[in-house]
Amino acid sequence: MGAYLNQANAYEPDFQNEFWGRNYPRLYEIKQKWDPNGIFIARKGVGSEDWANSFSYRSFSPAGVTRIKPPENTVGFRDTNGDGIGDLPGILSKLDYIKSLGVDAIWICPMYDSPQYDMGYDIANYEDVYAPYGTVADVEAIIAACHERGLRILLDLVINHTSYLHAWFGESRSSKSSSKRDWYIWRPAKYDVDGTRRPPNNWRSFFGGSAWEFDDETQEYYLHLFAVEQPDLNWENSETRKAIYDSAVTFWLDKGIDGFRVDTVNMYSKRSFANAPILDERLEWQPAHSLFCNGPRIHEFLHELGQILAKYDAMTVGELPHTPQIADVLSYVSTKEKQLSMVFQFNVVETGTGDPTFNTTPRNWTLPDFRKRIAQTQELVPTDGWSTSFLENHDQARSISRFGNEETPEYWALSAKMLAILVTTLSGTVYIYQGQEIGMVNFPLEWNIEEYKDVNSINYYKFIQDSTKNDPTAVKRAKEALAHLARDHPRIPMQWDGTANAGFTTESAKPWMRVHDNYPTLNVEKQQSDSKSVLAFWQEALRVRKSFPKVFAHGVFSDTDPSNESLLIFEKIGDGQKLLVLLNFTTETKPIDIGKRLGGKPRKAVLRNYEDEPLDFLRALEGRAYLLDN
């Protein structure tokens, strides 16, 4: 499966509560409207003519999206036919469970026809389904069942590239004179003085090696920012764009889906094809995101796409890497731009990663850096744009293993609940990844390297082996980094119960990926019968968040102690309310005058992961949230 959201109760009510937000420089003065039940309906930037009623605000309250992903996680969500691979009927069978979490939407990652070199993000046919997952009719059944339950459904929109097996690419590579030649990005080779053939530039693929692949048939290179099997589409060609819109977008909107998560949304317009700056002279291929992200026509393309989406009132959440400046992010999500409803910023989840991602050591981060990144994502709140709150997805290792502590069962539970408090008290739309709601963790360092299936993990490990001639120290460091950050961790089977294979598939089947060893004690069934479980805590946190949307989802964020290396303490202000959040990221008791922060008045936390509330310290991995009058 994948991720989970939250839905509003009304669509066109009379507006009864109108107020002006804080006065910020630039366009940060915001007018907001609420329905009588306190559900946020619209935002308006100063100077804009119309109320913004985009799908993300009007049809979704910002409490939470649930993420379901087939390739990694239909593949890993639930298998109903005993072949060891998760499938669409498996999602259908668990919609009541998803609804019980308190979310309003699900997001299914690519279930399209694909050779699966990159877990379905290499699409061979946008209008068909990968056979082991099911059929188009199965998707239609999920759409209908979601709507019957008051859930919305998002699909993954992967349109920067296709599979090399897509019919479009087959035609494009058939001949230089093909009518679809220009549907992809082709360039002639370069040659050294001695006649050695070289790629057009020194760009490095996200998965390692050159971003160009030579085609023997037509004697030119094609661009692939990701795997060799994922050639980049040429968005400069208007005929290509129309085909994308017809096949990948309207085909599914016409079937009733409610929106898309848009993959690599800022890579469609390339700035130039010059060589990337040399950041590491030891390496032949260099990171080039400054040349292929946020190009000159990207907003033109997204506005064009947005006009189609608007006809269906469709919600979008774009994946926006390598865009650290808030002004640049706002150019994608400002309501007046009419492009995207919201985006995933990578500031927080890239904490402690290297360049490339695995060139680091486990837990290589500090709390001041982590909190600074959180604050950056919250800068969107007082604008006419919108933000997201998440710590996990199909590309990120488990948050407890990265930012919490799993040394003991007690620390594990405290960490899971403390991080749930963090995610649900930040402004924006909350995204919960499958298994996060029960506290799933990374699989152990001791697992053999053969257990890793992701192309990025495999390529990096092989690169280290080859480039260091199997140096034991370097290989060990690479394995430790994978055990901490690999995309494989969120893709192992969902843990439903304590039976063999964790209830993911039949007891006699072989799951497509190894089930975590801890499934007998960490599973949905066990937690459903425990009122103090991580699952119950997530349900309560989402309920509380939904009860106070003006401050939980829309409050303006302020970090009260940015340099503190142990405690993350922040406040949120929203329409006469204040939310005080206190989180201890250490396993030590830390002194703090909580009574003073509460104004000397007795208060009870609306969220807490300990039974009692002493006012002069926070215990190991303790988290609390207090709702105050402002």
Looking up tokens 């913004």, which residue turns up? 52
Closest CA to 63 of 39, 95, 92, 44: 39
Q: Do the beta carbons of residue 429 and residue 62 sit within 8 Å? A: yes
Q: What is the spatial distance between Cα 13 and Cα 313, in angstroms, rounded to a whole number?
A: 17
Q: What is the spatial distance between Cα 111 and Cα 273, in angstroms, rounded to a whole number?
A: 32
Instruction: Indicate if 148 belongs to the active site.
Output: no
CB neighbourhood size of 195 (10 A): 6
Residues 326, 327, 328, 332: what is their CA dihedral angle, to the nearest 10 degrees? 100
Query: Residue 559's beta-bridge partner residues?
Result: 570
Q: Which two tokens stand for residue 241?
A: 């764009």
Compute the C-alpha angle 23/25/267, nearest 5°. 120
Instruction: Indicate if 319 belongs to the active site.
Output: yes
Calculate the alpha carbon distances from 375 to 323, 371, 542, 557, 561 in Å: 15, 6, 21, 7, 12
Query: For residue 66, what is the enclosing H or E element?
Result: strand 60-68
Closest CA to 58 of 99, 100, 3, 6: 6
Q: Do the beta carbons of residue 557 and residue 426 sit within 8 Å? A: yes
Query: Of 263, 437, 454, 488, which is the active-site residue?
Result: 263
Query: For residue 241, what is the enclosing H or E element?
Result: helix 238-244
How far out from the chain centre does Cα 547 lie?
25
Q: Do the beta carbons of residue 179 and residue 172 sit within 8 Å? A: no
The stretches of 38-111 forming alpha helices (DSSP H) are 55-58, 74-77, 88-93, 95-100
Query: Of 319, 384, 488, 571, which is the active-site residue?
Result: 319
Looking up tokens 């039974």, which residue turns up? 611
Q: What is the spatial distance between Cα 535 and Cα 541, in angstroms, rounded to a whole number?
A: 10
Query: Residue 40's beta-bridge partner residues?
Result: 34
Hey, which residues are catalytic here?
263, 319
